[in-house]
């Protein structure tokens, strides 16, 4: 959600909140990487 908010900003982004929480959000891996789907991709 943070990525979406930042990329949709037109001129300015202001993050309000606890600095530790913002840093944790920015540095953590996206949840989509661990999502279980029925799709399988095989890289050659």
pLDDT of residue 20: 93
CB 41 within 8 A of CB 18: no
C-beta atoms surrounding 22 within 10 Å: 13
pLDDT of residue 19: 92
Q: What is the pLDDT along the chain (44 residues), one digit of tens a residue?
A: 778 888 888 899 888 989 998 888 888 877 777 777 666 665 55
pLDDT above 70 coverage of the chain, percent: 77
0.95 surpassed by pTM: no
């Amino acid at each position: 959600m943070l990525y979406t908010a930042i990329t949709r900003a037109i001129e300015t982004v202001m993050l309000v909140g606890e600095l530790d929480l913002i840093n944790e959000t920015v540095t953590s891996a996206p949840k989509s990487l661990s999502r279980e789907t029925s799709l399988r991709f095989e890289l050659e």
